[in-house]
C-alpha cells in the first residue's frame, strides 16, 4: 500500500525508473547513504551503462541530484516526497599520523555524502565531522564491535568531550587504534589484546569519536 502511494506521486516516471528510485530511497533509509552504481546494477539486474542512463533520467525529471566525483553522491530532492533527513558532505582522508603529542590527517582522498540524522550528528558543525579511509588493515588495531575490511571508511567527530565508554579512533607512533575508552586508576585507556593502551600525552592520541562506518562495495 505504501509503495502504491509513492508510485502515484511519481506519475512522470516509467515503471523501470520508479523501481530504481524506490531502491535508492529504501537503501538510503536503511544505510544512511546512497548506493553505488554497482549496487544499483546488481539490485536491478542491469549493467552500469543502464544505471547511468536511469540516473540521468531521474536527474532530468528533478528527483535526484548527482554530485560528480563523490562516492555515493546521489542526493534525493523534495520531489521524491520522502523525508530522508539532512545530508552533509565530509572529507575522507587517506589516513592519520602521530607527531609527538599531536596528530596530522593525511591528504584528502575524496568527499562522501552521509545522513546527519542516521549518524546522530545533527547538532555538530559539519567541519568537525570527517572520515578516514582504511587503506592498510595491518596498520589498524580494531577493538570495536564491527569488522573492518579494506577501504572501509570510518566516520569521526572531532569531539573534545571524551568520557568512559566513548568509542574512539586513536593513533600512536605505529598504528590507528579503534576502541572503547575505559578509566583505570584515574587514567583513560583503551583495552587491547596485549593489555591496556594509555590514552594521552606521548601515548595514543585520540583523533575523535567514532560514529559509524561506510563500506563501498
The domain spanning residue 135 has which CATH number? Answer: 2.10.109.10
Q: Single out the residue in 29, 59, 80 at which a domain terminates.
A: 80
Q: Are residues 116 and 193 in the same domain?
A: yes
- Structural domains in the chain (count): 2
Q: Are residues 163 and 111 in the same domain?
A: yes
Q: For the stretch 68-107, what's the b/e string if a residue is b when 16 or more beta carbons lie within 10 angstroms of its beta carbon?
A: eebbbbbbbeeebeeebeebbebbbbebbebeeeebebee
Report the percent of the chain where pLDDT is more than 70.
89
Query: CATH number, domain at 75?
Result: 1.10.10.10
pLDDT of residue 125: 74
Q: Are residues 36 and 110 in the same domain?
A: no
Q: Are residues 14 and 29 in the same domain?
A: yes
pLDDT of residue 20: 95
Which range of residues forms the domain containing residue 39?
Answer: 2-80
Q: Single out the residue in 80, 106, 132 at which a domain terminates.
A: 80
Share of the chain residues as helix, strand and coil, in percent rounded to the nearest 5: 25, 35, 40
Q: Is the pTM higher than 0.75?
A: no
Q: Are residues 102 and 129 in the same domain?
A: yes
12: exposed, middle or buried (C-beta count within 10 Å: 0-12, 13-18, 19+)?
exposed
Q: Are residues 181 and 148 in the same domain?
A: yes
pLDDT of residue 3: 42
Least confident of 7-11, 32-36, 112-116, 185-189: 7-11
Return d(Cα 21, Cα 51) in angstroms, integer.
11
Q: Are residues 34 and 68 in the same domain?
A: yes
In contact, 171 and 97? CB cutoff 8 Å? yes
pLDDT of residue 86: 67
Which tens digits make up the pLDDT trace of 171-205?
888 889 999 999 998 889 998 888 888 887 778 88
Return d(Cα 169, Cα 164) in angstroms, integer.
14
Q: Are residues 24 and 95 in the same domain?
A: no
Q: Are residues 64 and 143 in the same domain?
A: no
Q: Are residues 60 and 132 in the same domain?
A: no
pLDDT of residue 6: 43
**Banded pLDDT at 10 (limits 50, 70, 90):** confident
pLDDT of residue 83: 66
Q: Single out the residue in 30, 45, 80 at which a domain terminates.
A: 80
Position 58 pLDDT exceeds 90: yes
Q: Are residues 68 and 22 in the same domain?
A: yes
Q: Are residues 100 and 205 in the same domain?
A: yes
pLDDT of residue 122: 63
pLDDT of residue 118: 64
Amino acid at each position: 500500500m505504501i509503495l502504491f502511494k509513492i508510485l502515484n506521486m511519481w506519475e512522470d516516471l516509467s515503471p523501470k525508473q520508479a523501481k530504481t528510485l524506490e531502491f535508492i530511497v529504501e537503501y538510503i533509509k536503511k544505510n544512511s547513504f546512497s548506493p553505488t552504481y554497482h549496487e544499483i546494477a546488481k539490485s536491478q539486474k542491469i549493467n552500469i551503462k543502464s544505471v547511468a542512463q536511469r540516473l540521468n533520467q531521474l536527474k532530468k525529471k528533478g528527483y535526484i541530484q548527482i554530485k560528480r566525483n563523490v562516492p555515493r553522491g546521489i542526493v534525493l530532492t523534495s520531489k521524491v516526497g520522502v523525508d530522508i533527513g539532512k545530508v552533509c558532505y565530509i572529507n575522507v582522508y587517506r589516513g592519520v599520523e602521530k607527531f609527538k603529542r599531536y596528530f596530522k590527517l593525511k591528504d584528502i582522498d575524496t568527499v562522501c555524502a552521509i545522513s546527519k540524522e542516521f549518524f546522530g550528528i545533527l547538532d555538530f558543525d559539519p567541519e568537525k565531522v570527517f572520515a578516514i579511509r582504511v587503506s592498510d588493515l595491518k596498520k589498524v588495531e580494531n577493538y570495536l564491535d564491527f569488522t573492518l575490511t579494506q577501504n572501509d571508511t570510518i566516520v569521526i567527530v572531532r569531539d573534545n568531550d571524551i568520557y568512559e565508554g566513548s568509542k574512539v579512533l586513536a593513533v600512536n607512533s605505529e598504528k590507528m587504534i579503534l576502541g572503547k575508552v575505559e578509566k583505570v586508576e584515574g587514567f583513560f585507556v583503551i583495552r587491547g589484546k596485549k593489555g591496556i593502551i594509555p590514552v594521552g600525552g606521548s601515548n595514543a592520541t585520540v583523533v575523535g569519536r567514532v560514529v559509524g562506518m561506510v563500506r563501498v562495495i
